[in-house]
Chain A
Amino acid sequence: MKITEAFERGEFVVTAEVGPPKGFHIEHVLEEAKTYLSGITAVNVTDNQSSVMRLGSLATCKALKDEGLTPIFQLTCRDRNRIALQSDLLSAAMFGIENLLLLTGDHTKLGDHKAAKPVFDLDSVSLIHTVKQLEAGVDLGGNDLVGEAPKFAKGAVVSPCSDSVDAQLAKMERKVAAGCDYFQTQAVFEPEKFIQFMEKAKQFGKPVQVGIIIPKSAGMAKFMNNNVAGIHVPDEMIEELKKDKEKTKAGITGVEIAARIIKECRPYCQGVHIMALGWESKVPELLKQAGI
Chain B
Amino acid sequence: MLITQLKAKETIVSLAAGKKVFIINCQGCKEVHFPEAEVKELEKELADSGNVTGTITTDYICNPENMKLRLEKHKSEIEAADAVLVFSCGVGVQTVAGYLEDKKVYAACDTYPLPGFQGVTPLEYNCDQCGECYLNLTGGICPITACSKSLVNGQCGGSKNGKCEVDSEMECGWERIYRRLAQVGRLDALKCPTQVRNFATDDEVSK
Which residues of A are at the interface with B, using a C-beta cutoff of 8 A?
A: 104, 106-107, 109-110, 118, 120-126, 128-130, 140, 157-159, 162-164, 166-168, 170-171, 173-174, 177-178, 186, 228-230
Contact = CB atoms under 8 A, between A and B. Distances in A.
B196 A122 contact: yes
B158 A174 contact: no
Contact of B199 (A121, A167, A168, A173): A121
A223 B77 CA distance: 53
B153 A124 contact: yes
Contacts of A186: 157
Contacts of B165: 106-107, 110, 229
A109 B194 contact: no
Contact of B158 (A106, A129, A166, A170): A106
Contact of A107 (B149, B152, B154, B187): B149
B194 A118 contact: no
Contacts of A122: 196-197
Contact of B149 (A123, A166, A168): A123
Interface string B173-192: 01100100010000100110
Contact of A171 (B148, B153, B162): B153
B128 to A, nearest CB: 13
Contact of B178 (A123, A166, A230): A166
Contacts of A130: 196
A117 B144 CA distance: 16
Interface residues of B, number: 31
19 contacts: A107-B158, A107-B165, A109-B166, A121-B199, A122-B196, A125-B194, A126-B152, A126-B153, A126-B195, A164-B174, A164-B175, A164-B178, A168-B155, A171-B155, A174-B153, A174-B194, A177-B193, A229-B159, A230-B157
Contacts of B191: 173-174, 177
Contacts of B149: 104, 107, 118, 120, 123
A163 to B, nearest CB: 6
Nearest to B163: A229
A167 B165 CA distance: 15
A107 B172 contact: no
Given A104-B149, A163-B160, A229-B165, A126 B155 contact: no
A171 B156 CA distance: 8
A232 to B, nearest CB: 10
Given A167-B174, A174-B190, A229-B165, 13 more contacts: A107-B149, A123-B152, A123-B156, A126-B195, A164-B174, A167-B154, A170-B154, A171-B154, A174-B153, A177-B191, A177-B193, A229-B160, A230-B157
Contacts of A167: 154-155, 159, 174-175, 178
B153 A107 contact: no
Contacts of B196: 122, 126, 129-130, 140
A71 to B, nearest CB: 22
Question: Which among B156, B160, B165, B197 has the highest number of chain A CB atoms within 10 Å?
Answer: B156
Nearest to B197: A121
B140 to A, nearest CB: 17
B71 interface: no
B161 interface: yes
Contact of A229 (B148, B153, B158): B158
B174 to A, nearest CB: 6
